[in-house]
């Protein structure tokens, strides 16, 4: 009696382990593509879109979404723990020590050249751009007549700024705001990466100025005001898939074509609508990605 | 390793880390504030009802079981789940979700220990108390609670230390405290900051433990002091 029970338990355990260990089996022979993303909703959504596009074609895909900031996922990509991640060309080029401009084509080319020695290929970029956006509530904008980021300088020493914890160490975040715009905030509050905590803090007045993303669906939905980047701090920030060169070599042109088909269709308007569906309407990112891909 | 520890020491010696909203004094103060607030409110909510129920020997397994359910919910989960609720109530982010999670953490040990402590007082003592003419209330306050005090205060002590350690979660929902060094350091992969933050939390936990030991020595009746240490760990 006890022996039978033990055998059943063992069989169930083995079945569970087997189920957990197996990954999606694609019909195309080759290494499983490990798709990763940063820890904010847009990155995870775009990564999901690329992942589903590849799966539909028959590639074997493994997802590792919401990993963390660039300091965490970049080493993972370069060491082979990840194979593909959606990146933003301006910030990534700056991260590698290059100089990013507002020209997408030259910035993209410079990024490709800078990252290639580390075994990473940056494929064709999408028209969609997502830059760091300096945002205030409509009430604040009306009260102080704020239209451009430079307008904030008149309020130096009175405002609280909130954004991702890594903002103080980012050139296109607090460093640039201080150096280029000459802004001086009373306090910087580390919140989340353009997510619900930052939005809640801005709405409640806990912060006066927030860092959100220009393609965020929340800005329009909450009637926030995106201040104009009049001094051109933010460079071109087109989305582009960063892929390990060895995966590209393993799969060839067809793999690149699949990803290009997705990138070409991703405009800033499309991206904002996608973000709105997930961030504002609360829809499931997997379904949002699937529906969008079906419409291509 | 030695080099890393050297960097940590340098971090502590850097005067920039001792000033401003993100300086050590302010973060320690925030951390102490929430610990005192959460532990005190939890003590009020937990100990008084538990003592009464224990005295009447009512509820028993049912109540203890129900309170134990609080423990099953991970603090991380509560902090995140509480966020939309506190936002909806206009209490905002940061302090209140963290405070709520810490209440859930601190209430169970204090409640359970108070209940079992009072319910488990030697019946001979109670009989003797009634024998000398004590009323119900006099017996409770004069005999049962002091007899159970080692167990009750031990629970407060353990809860306080757990609260200090867990308050670091608040940094995830935009609060300050010592968790900031851990979360912010992690975001930029600054191992030195993370380690320094962890050291500060551990240090504060030790100080709390020391303070609460002193409180225990002060509040527990002299005659129960040595016995107290053995029986003091019942439900925790």
- The mean pLDDT of chain B is 90
* Residue A9 maps to a domain: no
The enclosing domain of A95 has a CATH number of 3.40.190.10
Domain that holds residue A31: 26-129+236-294
* Total number of domains in chain A: 2
The token pair at B83 is 């966020």
Query: For residue A178, what pLDDT band results from cuts at 50, 70 and 90?
Result: very high
Based on the fold, state whether residues A115 and A145 are members of the same structural domain. no
The shortest CB-CB distance from A165 to any of B87, B90, B184 is to B184
Q: How far apart are CA A7 and CA A172, in angstroms?
A: 60
The total number of residues shown for chain B amounts to: 236
A-interface mutation test, from B27, B92, B93, most A Cβ less than 10 A away: B93
Terminal Cα distance for chain A, rounded: 59
Strand order in the sheet with A187-190: A187-190, A160-163, A209-213, A132-136, A225-226
* Residue B103 maps to a domain: yes
Q: Is A200 on the interface with B (CB under 8 A)?
A: yes
* Residue B110 maps to a domain: yes
* Residue B202 maps to a domain: yes
The enclosing domain of A151 has a CATH number of 3.40.190.120
The secondary structure of A133-194 as a DSSP string is EEEE-HHHHHHHT--BGGGGGGGTTT-EEEE-TTGGG-IIIIIHHHHTS----SEEEE--SS
Based on the fold, state whether residues A124 and A137 are members of the same structural domain. no
Cβ-count burial A116-141 (b if 16+ within 10 Å, e if not):
eeebbbbbbbbbbbbbbbbbbbeebb
Query: For residue B228, what pLDDT band results from cuts at 50, 70 and 90?
Result: very low
> Using H for helix, E for strand and C for coil, what is the string for chain B?
CHHHHHHHHHHHHCHHHHCCCCCHHHHHHHHHHHHHHHHHHHHHHHHHHHHHHHHHCCCCHHHHHHHHHHHHCCHHHHHHHHHHHHHHCCCCCCHHHHHHHHHHHHHHHHHHHHHHHHHCCCHHHHHHHHHCCCCHHHHHHHHHHHHHHHHHHHHHHHHHHHHHHHHHHHHHHCCCCCHHHHHHHHHCCCHHHHHHHHHHHHHHHHHHHHHHHHHHHHHCCHHHHHHHHHHCCCCC
Interface size A-B, in CB pairs within 8 Å, comes to 50
Q: Please state, in angstroms and as integers, the Cα–Cα distance from residue B235 to each residue in A173, B100, B209, B210, following that order.
A: 50, 22, 18, 21
* Residue B13 maps to a domain: no
CB contact under 8 A, B184 and A190: yes
* Residue whose tokens read 């201040």: A227
The ipTM, to two decimals, is 0.75
> Chain-centre distance of CA B161, in angstroms?
5
Asked if pLDDT for residue A229 goes beyond 50, the answer is yes
Domain that holds residue B83: 23-231
* Residue A13 maps to a domain: no
Quick: pLDDT tens for B157-214. 999 999 999 999 999 988 999 999 999 999 888 999 999 999 999 999 999 999 999 9
* Residue B16 maps to a domain: no
Query: For residue B63, what pLDDT band results from cuts at 50, 70 and 90?
Result: confident
How wide is the angle at C-alpha A244 spanned by C-alphas A239 and A245, nearest 5°? 110
Quick: pLDDT tens for A107-152. 999 999 999 999 999 999 999 999 999 999 999 999 999 999 999 9
Of A226, A248, A282, the domain-final residue: A226
Q: Is A76 on the interface with B (CB under 8 A)?
A: no
* Residue A17 maps to a domain: no
Q: Per DSSP, what are the bridge partners of residue A64?
A: A36
CB contact under 8 A, A69 and B188: yes
pLDDT at A26: 64
Query: How much of chain A exceeds pLDDT 70, in percent?
Result: 96
**What mean pLDDT is predicted for residues B82-98?**
87
Which stretches of chain A are DSSP H helices? 2-21, 41-57, 70-79, 89-95, 104-115, 138-144, 176-179, 196-204, 218-221, 245-251, 253-265, 268-275, 285-294
CB contact under 8 A, B187 and A69: yes
pTM for the model: 0.80
pLDDT at A24: 52
The enclosing domain of B120 has a CATH number of 1.10.3720.10
Of A174, A207, A226, the domain-final residue: A226
CB contact under 8 A, A206 and B94: yes
Residues 224-253, chain A: which have Cβ within 8 Å of B? Answer: none
Top-confidence range, A14-18, A215-219, B68-72: A215-219
pLDDT at B221: 82
Q: Which is more confident, A216 or A2?
A: A216
**What mean pLDDT is predicted for residues B88-95?**
86
Q: How far apart are CA B226 and CA B232, in angstroms?
A: 10
Top-confidence range, A9-13, A288-292, B221-225: A288-292
Based on the fold, state whether residues A77 and A114 are members of the same structural domain. yes
Q: Please state, in angstroms and as integers, the Cα–Cα distance from residue B51 to each residue in A222, B55, B130, following that order.
A: 49, 6, 18
Terminal Cα distance for chain B, rounded: 36
Based on the fold, state whether residues A182 and A158 are members of the same structural domain. yes
CB contact under 8 A, B93 and A191: yes
* Residue B53 maps to a domain: yes
Q: Map residue A22 onto helix, strand or coil.
A: coil
Of A191, A226, A261, the domain-final residue: A226
Q: How far apart are CA A93 and CA A95, in angstroms?
A: 5
Asked if pLDDT for residue A295 goes beyond 50, the answer is yes
* Total number of domains in chain B: 1
Q: Name, in order, each residue with C-beta under 8 angstroms of A260's C-beta and a sequence gap of 6 or more.
A: A123, A124
């Amino acid at each position: 009696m006890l022996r039978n029970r033990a055998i059943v338990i063992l069989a169930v355990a083995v079945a569970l382990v087997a189920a957990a260990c197996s990954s999606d089996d694609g019909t195309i022979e080759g290494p499983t593509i490990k798709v990763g993303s940063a820890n904010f909703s847009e990155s995870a959504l775009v990564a999901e879109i690329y992942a589903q596009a590849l799966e539909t074609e028959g590639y074997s895909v493994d997802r590792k979404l919401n990993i963390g900031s660039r300091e965490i996922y970049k080493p993972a990509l370069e060491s082979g723990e990840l194979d593909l991640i959606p990146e933003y060309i301006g910030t990534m080029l700056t991260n590698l020590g290059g100089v990013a401009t507002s020209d997408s084509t030259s910035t993209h080319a410079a990024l490709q050249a800078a990252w290639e020695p580390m075994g990473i290929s940056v494929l064709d970029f999408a028209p969609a751009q997502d830059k760091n956006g300096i945002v205030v509530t409509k009430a604040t904008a009306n009260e102080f007549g704020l239209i451009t980021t430079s307008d904030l300088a008149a309020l130096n020493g009175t405002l609280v700024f909130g954004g991702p914890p890594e903002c103080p160490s980012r050139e296109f975040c607090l460093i640039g705001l201080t150096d280029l715009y000459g802004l001086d905030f009373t306090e910087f509050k580390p919140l989340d990466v353009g997510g619900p905590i930052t939005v809640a803090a801005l709405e409640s007045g806990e912060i006066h100025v927030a860092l959100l993303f220009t393609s965020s669906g929340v800005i329009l939905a909450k009637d926030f005001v995106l201040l104009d980047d009049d001094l051109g701090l933010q460079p071109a920030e087109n989305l582009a898939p960063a892929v390990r060169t060895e995966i590209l070599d393993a799969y060839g042109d067809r793999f690149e074509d699949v990803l290009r088909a997705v990138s070409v269709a991703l405009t800033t308007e499309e991206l904002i609508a996608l973000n709105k569906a997930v961030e504002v309407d609360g829809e499931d990112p997997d379904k949002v990605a699937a529906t969008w891909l079906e419409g291509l | 390793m030695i080099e890393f520890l050297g960097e940590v020491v340098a971090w502590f010696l850097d005067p920039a880390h001792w000033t401003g909203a993100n300086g050590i004094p302010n973060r320690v103060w925030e951390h102490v504030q929430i610990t005192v607030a959460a532990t005190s409110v939890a003590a009020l909510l937990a100990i008084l009802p538990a003592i009464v129920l224990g005295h009447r020997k009512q509820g028993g397994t049912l109540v203890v079981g129900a309170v134990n359910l609080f423990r099953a919910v991970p603090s991380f989960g509560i902090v995140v789940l509480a966020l939309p609720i506190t936002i909806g109530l206009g209490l905002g982010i940061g302090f209140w979700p963290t405070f709520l999670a810490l209440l859930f953490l601190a209430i169970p040990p204090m409640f359970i220990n108070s209940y079992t402590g009072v319910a488990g007082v030697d019946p001979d003592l109670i009989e003797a108390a009634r024998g000398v003419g004590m009323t119900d209330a006099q017996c409770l306050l004069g005999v049962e609670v002091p007899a159970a005090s080692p167990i009750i205060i031990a629970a407060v002590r353990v809860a306080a230390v757990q609260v200090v350690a867990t308050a670091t979660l608040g940094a995830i929902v935009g609060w300050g405290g010592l968790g900031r060094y851990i979360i912010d350091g992690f975001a930029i992969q600054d191992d030195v900051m993370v380690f320094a933050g962890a050291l500060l939390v551990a240090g504060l936990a030790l100080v709390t433990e020391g303070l609460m030991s002193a409180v225990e020595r002060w509040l527990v009746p002299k005659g129960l002091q040595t016995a107290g240490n053995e029986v003091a760990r019942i439900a925790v």
